[in-house]
Structure 1
Amino acid sequence: MDEERRISPGPFAALLGFRPLRADADGALVEALPGPEHLNGGGIVHGGYLTALLDSATGWAVHQHVPPGVAAPHVQLSVQYIRAAVAGELLVCHGRCVAAGRRIVSAEAEITQGDRVIARAVTSHAVLRPA
């Protein structure tokens, strides 16, 4: 798998407008610009949109620490919502690998909007090596 494919958004992330800017040994940096279609009934960015952004950033960060072609799906994702995000303002998500073992990889991510922290996540990923 070439390096561009390792950080290119899949169909779901592309549909949501996630833009991976960087994914390397130091982590992943992803931007997203939520629009009115990403709001919940209360007029703020839907928690599922934020969770998907955290999921994507940690996934891209983890895949920099496993060999190409090795899957590392999430087996656990814990999200802390800190404050509301609004449409029309850029979200920036930083994900990083915390520990990479042979069977489990741990990661974390944080979303900011301007200088405000919006949400954080910690994740675990199973390392699925081909048979």
Structure 2
Amino acid sequence: MSDQHELAPGVPAPGPFSSLLGFRYLGLADGEALVEADPGPEHCNGGGIVHGGFLSSLLDTTTGWAAHGGLAAGSAAPHVQLSVQYVRAALPGTVLVCRGRVVAAGRRITSSEAEITQDGRVVARALATHAVVSSGRAAVGDDG
């Protein structure tokens, strides 16, 4: 999947990392994003459960898509903070569903949250903060 295309108007397509992990974008509407993933054995830690880094990446991706869904054209909202709570083990071979939504949106800061479920049970949650930047900025983090 190329990052030159949009998932929805003004929302960039997933980059190569999300594609590598097999994340599937299913929808974005009204500040809510829906993403799925099929974890396999290659996504597990030594104990045979889905690695926390895989879950964190899914939460990061979903909160980011939710945040981008409400931005003005030409703006971006890179993460500046992601807090993850792991609730229970996720098992390979069963679909993970991640739902994210915007909690608060301002001119400079947007907050979003996401929750991963597997078979209807919560696996992990996240709260994210995003810095809203316009295309007029030279680079993220540019003071000027």
TM over 0.5: yes
**1:91 is matched by which residue type in structure 2?**
L
Identify the residue that residue 132 of structure 2 maps to in structure 1.
Answer: 127
1:23-65 alpha-carbon deviations (Å, 9 max, x no partner): 1214000000001100001110000000000000000000011
How far apart, in 2, do the equivalents of 1:10 and 1:28 lie?
A: 16
Identify the residue that residue 100 of structure 1 maps to in structure 2.
Answer: 105
Give the unaligned 5+ runs of structure 1. none
Give the TM-score, by structure 2 length.
Answer: 0.86
Structure 1 residue 68 displacement after superposition: 2.4
Q: Does 1:57 align with 2:57?
A: no
How far apart, in 2, do the equivalents of 1:80 and 1:91 lie?
A: 16
After TM superposition, the structure 1 = structure 2 runs for residues 1-131 of structure 1, keeping only pairs within 5 Å, are: 2=6, 3=8, 6=11, 8-131=13-136
How far apart, in 2, do the equivalents of 1:13 and 1:36 lie?
A: 17
Structure 1 residue 129 displacement after superposition: 1.2
Structure 1 residue 69 displacement after superposition: 2.3
Structure 1 residue 71 displacement after superposition: 1.5
Q: Is the 8 A contact 2:31 2:70 kept in 1?
A: no
Q: Is the 8 A contact 1:9 1:19 kept in 2?
A: no
Give the unaligned 5+ runs of structure 2. 137-144
How far apart, in 1, do the equivalents of 2:26 and 2:9 lie?
A: 11
Structure 1 runs of 4+ off > 6 angstroms? none
1:54-83 alpha-carbon deviations (Å, 9 max, x no partner): 000000000011112211000000000000
Identical columns (%): 62
Q: Secondary structure at the match of 1:98?
A: strand
